[in-house]
Structure 1
Amino acid sequence: GASCCPVEVVFSVQEEVGLVGAKHLDLTQLAAKTAIVMDSAGPVGSIVARAPSQDTMTIEITGQASHAGVAPEQGVSAIVVASKAIAGMHLGRIDPETTANIGVIRGGMATNIIPAHVTMRGEARSLDEARLASQTAHMRECFETAARELGAKVEFWVERSYSAINLSPESAVVRRVSRAMAATGVAPTLISTGGGSDANIFMGAGIETANLGFGMMGPHSVEEHIAIADLEQAASILIAVLSDPQG
C-alpha cells in the first residue's frame, strides 16, 4: 500500500459541553505541528478558515424570599429580575459575525415562595474580538440594570472558552488538505463557521489545525445525519493526506 507519514491520533471527550477533553490534553506530549479535526458541518470539501471566539457566562441573581400568598410585597423575585434582564437583551444572531444565547436557567423552590436565587449560563461568540467584547458587556449591563432597578444583587462571571481561528489559505495544513481533496476529486472550499471545535484549542496552542467538513447535516437537531457516501469520501481524503509525498 501507499506509504504513510508519522501520525498521532487524539480521541478527545466531552466536546459538546465545552471542549473539555481537548482543554485537558497535555499537548506537550504531541510532536505534530499541524493537525486535522473532522468536526465541521457541511459538505465534504469544506475547510474551516475562520471560527469564532467564545465567552461563556455564569450569572447568579439574589433577591429576597418571602411567602407568595401572605407577604409578596416583602419579596424580590430573582426570576422576575432574570426575566426583565433577558427581555431587554439582544440575543440570537446579533450581526453576520456574532451570536449570543442564554441556554441554562435554574431557580425557585415552590409556587408559594418568592424565589430568592436564580443561576443562569449563557454565551456570546464572534469572529471579531471587539464585537465579542461589546456583546458580553451588553449582556452584563442588562443583568446589572435589572438587578439595580428591582432591588436584587447580581454576580456575573465570564470565562474565555476558546479563541478564534483565522487560518491562512497559504498555510501548510490548508495546502496539504487541498492537495488531498484534489487528488480524490473534491473541490476544496474555505468557509467561516459559527461553531467551535477542538481545532480552536489546538490552534490556540500553536498547532496549525484544519477542521474539515465530512458531510454532517442538521447538527444538534433531531434531523442530524450523514450519508455513507460522504463518510467514505471523507475517509479517502484522510488517506490521501497521510500518504501525501510532499509531507
Structure 2
Amino acid sequence: MKSISYAFVTGLALAWLPGTSFAQQAALDARIAKLAQAEETKVIAWRRDFHQHPELGNAETRTAGIVAAHLKSLGLEVQTGVAHTGVVGLLRGGKPGPVVALRADMDALPITEATGLAFASTVKTTYLGQPVGVMHACGHDAHTAMLMGAAEVLSQVRKDLRGTVKFIFQPAEEGSLPGEEGGAKLMVKEGVLENPRVSAVFGLHIDAQTPVGQLTYRPGGMMASADDFTVTVHGKGAHGSTPWNGVDPVVTAALMVVALQTLVSRQVDLTQDAAVVTVGILRGGVRTNIIPAEAELSGTIRALDSKMRAQLLAAFRRTVTGIAESAGATADVVFDPDAYPVTFNDRALTARMVPTLQAVAGGAAHVTEIKAVTGSEDFSFYQEKVPGMYFLLGGMRKGTDPATTADHHTAGFVLDESGFTLGVKTLATLAADYLGQKP
C-alpha cells in the first residue's frame, strides 16, 4: 500500500526522462527506502564512533580514512586529500545522465562535552593557545554517517541510476584556523564540482530543535551570508581633561556603532528580506584620563539576499569612513576574506524536489517551509557555482519541548538517532529522483 501511495504522489508531481515510467521510478524509490532502513544499525554505529573520536577542521584524518575505506569497499572511484582532508567518491550509474552531488561535513568543535553519553568524547586539544575538549556539538558526525549510508544504498541500485552521484565529504565547515584555507571554499577551488561537472548539489543539516520525522526547507535565501568586519579608528591622543587637543577615536567609534544600526532600518528595502548588523566588540584606551590614539570595533553583517549583502557592505564602508572624516579621524575597514555567501536554495530546483521530500517523509504534513535562519553555512560556496538545495532534518525526540533541548554548539548537545534513517533515505532518493527527472 505504501508503494502505491508513493508512486501516486511522485507521479503526479514529477516528469521523468524517456524510458523511465512513474512506476519504475516509484519502484526504485521504494527499494531505496527499504535499503535505507537496513542501514540503520550501521549508520548509528558509524555516528557513535565518529562522536567518540571527533577531529577539528582540516585535521579529520581518522574520519576521512574511515570514509575513504568505506567508499572503496563499495567500488566507488575515491579521491582523498581534497582541501586537506576531504574525501570525494564517484558512483557511476548504469545509464547515462547528469551528475548530482551530495555533501556532508566532517569536522567537530572545540567544546568540552557534558552529555553523559556512553560514547561521549574525552578528546582534549589546544585551540588558539587554550586547552579545551573536542566534541561533535553540531551533528556533523551524523551527517558523515548518513552520507556513508546513502552511498551504500545507492551503490546497490547503481545499474538503475541515470547518471553519476558525487559524494562530497568536506572538512572544516566550522571554519579554519587563522591563516588557513579550508572548507567548501577550498573544495570548490580544488575542483570538487568538476571532472565530471556537477549539475546540482544537495546537503542537509540535522536540527536538534526539530522533531524526528520532519524535514524543513526554504526557497531562496535560507541561511544568511556572514561578513565579519573590523574597523580601526585612528585619532589623536590627548589628556582626558583637554579633549580639544586631540581627536577622540572612542567617541568617533561610538557614533559609528549607533549609525550602523540605521543601515538596515533606513538604507535597505526591508520588504525584500531581513538583514542584521551587529557590533560585538568595541575597545579603546587603557586609563580613564587618557584619550587613546586608536579605537577598534568588530562585528558581523548578515543578509539573505546577495544584492542586499553587497549594498550593506558598501553602505557600511561609506558610513564609517564618513563619520571618521567628520570627526577629523580616519578609519580602516577590513572585511573577512573568508566570509560566507548566502545559503541560497535555487528556486526552480527546490520546487522540483519538494515532492521528493514530501514522499520520503510520508506526506506534506511532515515537510515544512520555514522562516530564514540568520546563521550561516559554507554549503553556500557550492550554491554559488551550481544550483543547490539545503534542508534540515529533525533530530529531536518526539514530544520534547524545543525550548528545553540543548542548542547546537553547546556542551549538552544531543540527537535522537532514530531520525538518521530518514536522512539516509532522503539523500539517496533526492539523488535518484533528480537523475531520473526531466530538467
TM above 0.5: yes
**Structure 1 partner of 2:85:** none
Calculate the aligned-residue CA RMSD, in Å. Answer: 3.8
Instruction: Say yes or no: does 1:125 pair with 2:314.
Output: no
**Structure 1 partner of 2:235:** 63
Picking from 246, 250, 254, the partner of 1:83 is 254
Aligned mates of 2:285, 2:234 — CA distance in 1: 11
**Structure 2 partner of 1:167:** 346
Aligned mates of 2:186, 2:325 — CA distance in 1: 38
The Cα offsets for residues 168-217 of structure 1, whole Å up to 9 and x where unpaired, read as 2644654544433237x961123333222122122123262323143575
Aligned mates of 1:74, 1:117 — CA distance in 2: 15
Q: TM-score, normalised by structure 2?
A: 0.46
Counterpart of 2:203, as a letter, is I
Counterpart of 1:210, as a letter, is Y
Aligned mates of 1:132, 1:155 — CA distance in 2: 20
Higher helix share: 2
**Structure 1 partner of 2:394:** 214
How far residue 28 of structure 1 moved from its aligned partner, in angstroms, is 2.1
Instruction: Say yes or no: does 1:47 pair with 2:217.
Output: yes
**Structure 2 partner of 1:38:** 205
What are structure 2's unaligned runs of at least 5 residues? Answer: 1-33, 36-151, 156-165, 397-401
Aligned mates of 1:104, 1:196 — CA distance in 2: 20
How far residue 4 of structure 1 moved from its aligned partner, in angstroms, is 0.8
Aligned mates of 2:362, 2:333 — CA distance in 1: 49
**Structure 1 partner of 2:186:** 24
The Cα offsets for residues 52-101 of structure 1, whole Å up to 9 and x where unpaired, read as 344433311101123335x5432222111100121233269744522211
Aligned mates of 2:413, 2:182 — CA distance in 1: 24
Instruction: Say yes or no: does 1:197 pair with 2:367.
Output: no
**For the Cα contact (< 8 Å) 1:126–1:132, is it kept in 2?**
yes
Aligned pairs, number:
242
Counterpart of 2:341, as a letter, is S
The Cα offsets for residues 105-147 of structure 1, whole Å up to 9 and x where unpaired, read as 3332343431111222233222234433443344333322321
Aligned mates of 2:319, 2:184 — CA distance in 1: 33
Q: Structure 1 residues 55, 41: closer, same or farther in 2, change over 3 A?
A: farther
Instruction: Say yes or no: does 1:15 pair with 2:15.
Output: no
Aligned mates of 1:174, 1:213 — CA distance in 2: 14
Q: Structure 1 residues 188, 118: closer, same or farther in 2, change over 3 A?
A: same
**Matched position secondary structure for 2:169:** coil
**Structure 2 partner of 1:241:** 426
**Structure 2 partner of 1:97:** 274
How far residue 152 of structure 1 moved from its aligned partner, in angstroms, is 0.7
**For the Cα contact (< 8 Å) 2:349–2:388, is it kept in 1?**
no
Aligned mates of 1:135, 1:242 — CA distance in 2: 35
**For the Cα contact (< 8 Å) 1:77–1:115, is it kept in 2?**
yes
**For the Cα contact (< 8 Å) 1:105–1:121, is it kept in 2?**
yes
Aligned mates of 1:81, 1:222 — CA distance in 2: 36
**Structure 1 partner of 2:324:** 147
Instruction: Say yes or no: does 1:188 pair with 2:380.
Output: no
**Matched position secondary structure for 1:8:** strand
Counterpart of 1:209, as a letter, is M
Aligned mates of 1:242, 1:8 — CA distance in 2: 10
**Structure 2 partner of 1:107:** 284
**Structure 2 partner of 1:232:** 418
Ranked by relative contact order (alpha carbons within 8 Å, sequence separation 6 or more), the top structure is: 1
**For the Cα contact (< 8 Å) 1:163–1:201, is it kept in 2?**
yes
**Structure 2 partner of 1:74:** 245
Picking from 346, 356, 359, the partner of 1:179 is 359
Structure of greater Rg = 2
**For the Cα contact (< 8 Å) 1:199–1:211, is it kept in 2?**
no
Q: Structure 1 residues 101, 220: closer, same or farther in 2, change over 3 A?
A: farther
Aligned mates of 1:220, 1:89 — CA distance in 2: 29
Picking from 125, 135, 153, the partner of 1:4 is 153
